[in-house]
Amino acid sequence: MHQAPPRKRNWFAAGALAAVILATTACGGVISATRQPSSDAVPGGSTGNAPGYAVKAADLLATLPVKGRAPKTGYDREKFGPAWSDTDHNGCDTRNDILARDLTKTTFKPGTKNCIVLTGTLADPYTATSIAFTRGSKTSSAVQIDHVVALSDAWQKGAQRLSKAQRTAFANDPLNLLAASGPANQQKSDGDAATWLPGSRAYRCPYVARQISVKAKYKLWVTQAERTAMASVLAQCGGTVAGGTAAGGTAAGTK
């Protein structure tokens, strides 16, 4: 193994996802505001790129449709494309991209052009603890890659009407992916904000703001209970910023 600085990564598939502008939240977290996605990435999207702009997460939440859950009938992980595809065509799969992005002190497998992460340290946003990552059949699950908006939750709230290409983009969108504690990720499962929030209270505002931004980007809806829970969290940090039109699964399991 060898240690190397994280390499620059092209996060988005060409013509599929918008460029990311990082916005710092009032709660000290960081979420992503994006420019307008392409028409292939999001229903109703423009083929042109409008400038990114920031809005309060609470204001963006108010624009999301409120509906009941659609039936889970027909849901399958494969509906969102192959797990951890290389959608940005940088030669690395999405899981390794996110590990390289979110971990520090990373080492990479020799001969992979700094692609396959062997070891690193995660400052876990969900538990506010430091977690050592070591690749291996018995150790990799300590750090998993979470879909902030779970795939199953998305399926029941609008993703059924997305195209296969759009769902693949959603499943590999770094805006919707975070390296996180494996046990915390498993506990979350496919829960929404009404059923699960990070144990770290300091991260709840950025977490909810990110979910809102992702749902806005992909034209998904929220349930009434979910909206109430989100609003309750944001009431404690009203200045939390979300993307103007948008908001970065598990290693051992899917959602």
Q: For residue range 32-62, what is the model confidence (pLDDT) as tens digits?
A: 332 223 333 343 333 223 234 478 999 999 9
Nearest to 32 by CA among 57, 50, 9: 57
Report the pLDDT value the prediction gives residue 36, as an integer from 0 to 100. 28
| Interatomic CA distance for residues 173 and 156, integer angstroms | 19
Report the pLDDT value the prediction gives residue 38, as an integer from 0 to 100. 33
Report the pLDDT value the prediction gives residue 181, as an integer from 0 to 100. 98
Highest mean pLDDT among 20-24, 31-35, 190-194: 190-194
**Is residue 90 within 8 Å of residue 100, measured between CB atoms?**
no
What's the first-to-final CA gap in the chain, in angstroms?
32
Report the pLDDT value the prediction gives residue 131, as an integer from 0 to 100. 98
> Given the structure tokens 């009431």, which residue do they identify?
235
pTM: 0.77
Backbone angles phi, psi at 170, to 5 degrees: -60, -45
The predicted model gives 170-199 an average pLDDT of: 97
pLDDT at residue 166 above 90? yes
Tokens at residue 154, please? Answer: 């998305």
> Given the structure tokens 């799969």, which residue do they identify?
93
Backbone angles phi, psi at 121, to 5 degrees: -125, 130
The predicted model gives 74-98 an average pLDDT of: 96
| Interatomic CA distance for residues 112 and 213, integer angstroms | 33
What's the per-residue H, E or C state across the chain?
CEECCCCCCCCCCCCCCCCEEEEECCCCCEEEEECCCCCCCCCCCCCCCCCCCEEEHHHHHCCCCECCCCCCCCCCHHHHCCCCCCCCCCCCCHHHHHHHHHEEEEEECCCCCCCCEEEEEEECCCCCCEEEEECCCCCHHHEEEEECCCHHHHHCCCHHHCCHHHHHHHHCCHHHEEEEEHHHHHHHCCCCCCCCCCCCHHHHHHHHHHHHHHHHHCCCCECHHHHHHHHHHHCCCCCCEEECCCCCCCCCCCC
The rounded percent of the chain whose pLDDT value lies above 70 is: 74
**Is residue 135 within 8 Å of residue 116, measured between CB atoms?**
yes
Report the pLDDT value the prediction gives residue 1, as an integer from 0 to 100. 52
Residue 92: half-sphere exposure toward Cβ, Cα within 13 Å: 24
Report the pLDDT value the prediction gives residue 129, as an integer from 0 to 100. 98
Rounded to 10°, the helix 204-217/224-234 angle is 130
Domain spans of the chain, in order of start? 57-68+83-235
